[in-house]
Amino acid sequence: MRDDLVVVVPGIMGTALTWEGVDVWNLSPQAAAGLVRPGRLLERLRLQKGIGDADPEPRHSLSLGPLVERPRVLPGLVAHLGYAGLARRLGIAPERLAVFRYDWRLDNRNSARRLRRFVERRLDEWRSTADRERFPRAGDAKAVFVCRSMGGLVVRYYVEELGGREVTRAVASLGTPYLGSVRALRFLLGEGLGPLPGAWRDALADICSTYPSLGQLLPVYKAVLVDEEHGAVSHLSAVPPVDGLPTATVMDAFRFHREMRKARIRNDAEGAAPYELVPLGGATHPTAHGVSFDTAGPPRFHDELPGGGGPWLGDGTVPQLSATPPEHTTTASTMWVPFRHASLIDAEPVRYQLRNVCDGVERTRFLSPDHEIGIELPDVAVAGEPIEVWATRADSAMDLRVRRLTEDGGCVSVDPMLPCGDGRFRAEVRAEPGVWTLEVSSPTTGYACRDAVLVM
């Protein structure tokens, strides 16, 4: 057992951003009901043009609020189920927990520099003030990072580029897009936003395009299908400029990842202090992996392998390929679980593994899922209209149903999933405006998988 400081680094929307006391990114039931046209509040979210890795100008600055505890959705890009009761979930004493709150709009380099100052201060405090009777090893403590999604990139840059290896014991990443995500490309092009009104689609894409952090989520693996018939693929940086996607944004994404790769190689060569890297990711859900560009129409996003090779899988947001650190030679090094991106930190098998990482005890090497069900559902829907939920690789004996849950976990409706005759199961759910949690579950096997949906 160890008495290390556990540092949690959330991803996009994990930290509340406020202006004059208003949580500007909180798409609550009241806000969802009022999504008619973009207004002054949404404009507060914009960053100045050409910000790079600098701080926001005063007129673009927002205050840091608390860690977000309830479900949140950024339509078309990401969702999570909140971080309530985090110390309890991780099974550690609250005194050992340090939560890094940051402005997730900013360049991840900027956030990594802030993380360095945060860790230096908190780790020094922990080493010098921890109760020695309860935590006898705190004097020799290092940092154990638990990072979700983009938070893993912030940690990675700090650890490799900014000297963080010296104080890092372990890094556990949950659905971190080490090589980016096609979903970020889709979002920045204003695609995949479902039933959002056109003005909102345009406004979200336009405003979020000013966020360096989101540009650094663009895929840097070979994601562009240049010859679908033969399955030929290319890097996004090697294709002609994409309308609506600045070349500078694409090049910065590749430069950001290249900086981390070079720093890691240099650190290894110079014998820098090693640390344990524990990636965990979702592995059973259809996940967009590739894109193709046609001169006559909008880009097309692919979650099927070329030539009928089957579905690309991941956690619904990050494909398997990207959830594995680039220095790992095989995706088998990642600990795979049958959960979606939004619920990775909420799933009990994941929490069990995180507890072991935090305490430095032996872990189960591979989390073999009992079920390999794939779930598909939208992240934004319209009140009163059906929300389609699909399941693949299931069977009728599981008696799958979709439960609609409130923020406190109360169940307000249950809808059965019915067979479609092609090996898939489907349910229709209707809901009032708000951010809801949908859970696909089986009472006969105990299977359960959750995600968040914004209903307008």
Under DSSP, is residue 169 helix (H, G, I), strand (E, B) or coil?
strand
The reply to whether 341 and 381 lie within a common domain is no
In a domain, 190, yes or no: no
Q: Is residue 144 one of the residues assigned to a domain?
A: yes
> The tokens of 360 are what?
């430095």
Residues 249, 316, single domain; the answer is yes
- Domain of 115 in residue numbering reads as 5-180+243-287+309-359
Residue 274 DSSP class: P
Q: Is residue 188 part of a domain?
A: no
- Rounded to two decimals, the pTM is 0.94
The two structure tokens encoding residue 246: 């600045």
Asked if the structure places residue 214 within a domain, the reply is: no
Element (H, E) at 143: strand 143-148
- Whether 222 maps to a domain, the answer reads no
Q: How far apart are CA 353 and CA 335, in angstroms?
A: 9
Regarding whether 422 and 326 lie in a shared domain, the answer is: no
Distance between CA atoms of 398 and 422, rounded to whole angstroms? 16
> What CATH number did the domain enclosing 145 receive?
3.40.50.1820
Q: Is residue 344 part of a domain?
A: yes
> What does each of the 456 residues of the chain score in pLDDT, given as a tens digit?
789 999 999 999 999 999 888 888 886 554 555 544 455 667 788 999 999 999 999 999 999 999 999 999 988 899 999 999 889 989 999 999 999 999 999 999 999 999 999 999 999 999 999 999 999 999 999 999 999 999 999 999 999 999 999 999 999 999 999 999 999 999 999 887 777 777 777 888 889 999 999 999 999 999 998 877 667 889 999 999 998 899 999 999 999 999 999 999 999 999 999 999 999 999 999 999 999 987 777 888 988 766 556 678 999 999 999 999 999 988 888 999 999 999 999 888 899 999 999 998 876 654 445 678 999 999 999 888 999 999 999 999 999 999 999 888 899 999 999 999 888 999 999 999 889 999 999 999 989 999 999 998
Is residue 269 helix, strand or coil? helix
Q: Is residue 208 part of a domain?
A: no
How far apart (Å, rounded) are the C-alpha atoms in residues 47 and 65? 18
Residue 131 and residue 17 in one domain: yes
